[in-house]
Amino acid sequence: MTTPTAAKTPAPEPQRIHAIPVRYPGRWISAAVVVVLAAMVANALITNDVFQWSTVGEYLFSAPILRGVSWTLILTVASMAIAIVLAVVLAVMRRSSNPVMRYVSWVYIWFFRGTPIYTQLAFWGYASVIYHNLSLGIPFGPAFVTFDTAVVLNATRAAILGLALNEAAYLAEIVRAGLQSVDRGQSEAARALGMKDGRILWRVVLPQAMRVIVPPTGNETISMLKTTSLVLAVPFILDLNYAQAAIGNRLFQPVPLLVVAAIWYLAITSILMVGQFYLERYYGRGFDEHVPRRGRRGRQAAINSAHTTADPSPLDGVTP
Q: Least distance from C-beta 42 to another protein, angstroms?
A: 46
According to the binding rule CB under 8 A, does residue 113 interact with another protein? no
According to the binding rule CB under 8 A, does residue 81 interact with another protein? no
Q: Least distance from C-beta 175 to another protein, angstroms?
A: 17
Question: Nearest 5 degrees, angle CA 191-CA 197-CA 202?
Answer: 105
According to the binding rule CB under 8 A, does residue 283 interact with another protein? yes
Q: Which of 204, 212, 214, 232 binds another protein (CB under 8 A)?
A: 204
According to the binding rule CB under 8 A, does residue 195 interact with another protein? yes
Looking at the Cβ atoms of 207 and 254, the one nearer to another protein is 207
C-alpha span between 239 and 75 (Å, rounded): 8
Residue 293 gets which letter from DSSP?
Answer: T
Stretch that binds another protein, among 59-67, 68-76, 124-132, 201-209 (CB under 8 A): 201-209
C-alpha span between 190 and 205 (Å, rounded): 10
C-alpha span between 63 and 238 (Å, rounded): 12
According to the binding rule CB under 8 A, does residue 311 interact with another protein? no
Looking at the Cβ atoms of 64 and 207, the one nearer to another protein is 207
Stretch that binds another protein, among 12-20, 26-34, 113-121, 281-289 (CB under 8 A): 281-289
C-alpha span between 232 and 117 (Å, rounded): 12
Amino acid code (one letter) for 163 = L
Looking at the Cβ atoms of 207 and 218, the one nearer to another protein is 207
Residue 53 exposure: Cα atoms within 13 Å on the Cβ side: 7
Contact status, residue 219 vs residue 16, Cβ threshold 8 Å: no
Stretch that binds another protein, among 13-21, 112-120, 178-186, 219-227 (CB under 8 A): 178-186
Q: Least distance from C-beta 286 to another protein, angstroms?
A: 4
According to the binding rule CB under 8 A, does residue 137 interact with another protein? no
According to the binding rule CB under 8 A, does residue 252 interact with another protein? no
Q: Which of 105, 208, 241, 244 binds another protein (CB under 8 A)?
A: 208
Q: Least distance from C-beta 276 to another protein, angstroms?
A: 18
280: nearest Cα among 179, 180, 204, 210: 210
Looking at the Cβ atoms of 173 and 197, the one nearer to another protein is 197
DSSP 135-173: EEE-TTS-EEEEEEHHHHT-HHHHHHHHHHHHHHHHHHH
Looking at the Cβ atoms of 132 and 203, the one nearer to another protein is 203
Q: Where are the alpha helices (DSSP H) in the chain?
A: 25-47, 53-60, 63-94, 99-114, 117-130, 149-152, 155-181, 184-192, 197-199, 206-227, 240-251, 254-283, 295-305
Buried (b) or exposed (e) across 297-309, using 16+ Cβ within 10 A?
Answer: eeeeeeeeeeeee
According to the binding rule CB under 8 A, does residue 186 interact with another protein? yes
| Cis ω before 235 (30° cut-off from 0) | yes
Site size for another protein, by CB under 8 A? 25
Looking at the Cβ atoms of 188 and 311, the one nearer to another protein is 188
Question: Which parts of 290-309 interact with another protein (CB under 8 A)?
Answer: 292-293
Residues that bind another protein (CB under 8 A): 183, 185-186, 188-197, 199, 203-204, 207-208, 283, 285-287, 289, 292-293
